[in-house]
Structure 1
């Protein structure tokens, strides 16, 4: 009665309604947080499974290349991954090859063999064009007598139109470290930058950032954990961008070839969020401390796959 006289009854009813609404919203928030946490965990598990499957696919593809193809009966005669002195020897041999006028064809092939390339190679390769399709993207070198037919997948696959000449149109910098250039390794928690003269490193900078692992260790929700981790990765990418500022458009080293390697998603994000125009990017598996990881990355990047058709 006293509450009604003082006008507090309606206020108490409103408070009860708001408390009920607050409890309902709290339960909804908790359910949504759990759903997002489950989704984040499922996404991470899926990414890990994809990585394992990609490794397995690469392994099976390698095994498949070493066996004759059941459908066509065709197989490459040789398949190697070359680097260093072995790669240089192969490059020099191909570069020194001479034919008559317009006897050697060099062509860059994208993900698909175009009709024009197919027409140019049909007389020489015939059914072996199927092997070229398996090697794309690549450079293809053949002579008009069919004595030499190879594909090359160097670190830099240029947009090379079909060129018939008395020699193969190959450039050293597509295959081997040449002149002054820089290679930057970027991962979610690691950065390493090397400046090189040919294959000699003349400058180095590297650092690691404190970024949480891919799963919460407890103590707070997975959703909050994800937000914290994403923020740490963003901060790390900003540090990487600052370290590469001189290589951005208009920077003091913008004319120096820059190769960005590392985790594909991180590399792509860095390029998208900066004014960098790298000469090439590549996904490489390089782990450990920054300096040895950079050495692994450089070793992996300057590797060319050779197939003898």
Structure 2
């Protein structure tokens, strides 16, 4: 066999290959993620923030919202990556660990700033239902006692999502009303207290009323749609109130208790809407759709609760379970399969 020969590293390259190779002496070539054009860099995120602010100044809220959403994604990815690197170097290289952890915190702060600005833009677009979850995200990330957390809670108070100001003995934090131009609704100061709101107790109750009217006319398709929407509203509200309660645990007892109570009340309303929806499916002769809803109620309410007992009785009547509950109720009259009005 012929002896193996070393390959010419330049073999097969065009004569002007040197012109095609990267200039390794150019620092920009070596560190591309330090450039504004990069999609994953501090400079790139800051450029997007500048573009978003320019769009806000011209009241081009659609562009501003898109830019801010991009900014949030960039800074959130950077923060997660820096945190992962910090965790990898923990106990191995303290200098790198400290640097990456600091970067993770700084980019998380920038993400929260972008989130807050995006929520204000949604207010400017008269979309408070999109602003609320963003403000709650900021509070959970920042802690209610910090400046941005206080501003976010103040916005929730002004929207009517929460009833109690924080802190109760202080004026609103400076800059809490830094909404984009024309962001306020001139018709009312608390849009989430209105029936036409997509994310409010009055809005959820309105949907329940409309569902009841549809049941009365036996328009079960319409009733099912309204009840599904009501379930979604009450479930979102319950989750948001629970998140706020967790954020204020050990910080402000009255707000914690208020939000926890609201979380329980809206969860009860969600389960009521779920029970009514299951009855509507029974009226439509669709027991396969009713069963999972009834089980959801039992898991949420506990079998000993009012709706839990009703839901189990429905499963018994449908033949999904064989034993009645409670056992002393073997001779109970069967419940109506029609939705309750």
The TM tier, using the shorter chain, reads under 0.3
More helix by share: 2
Question: What TM-score results when the alignment is normalised by the length of structure 1?
Answer: 0.19
Question: What TM-score results when the alignment is normalised by the length of structure 2?
Answer: 0.18
Larger RCO of the pair (alpha carbons < 8 Å, separation 6+): 1
More strand by share: 1
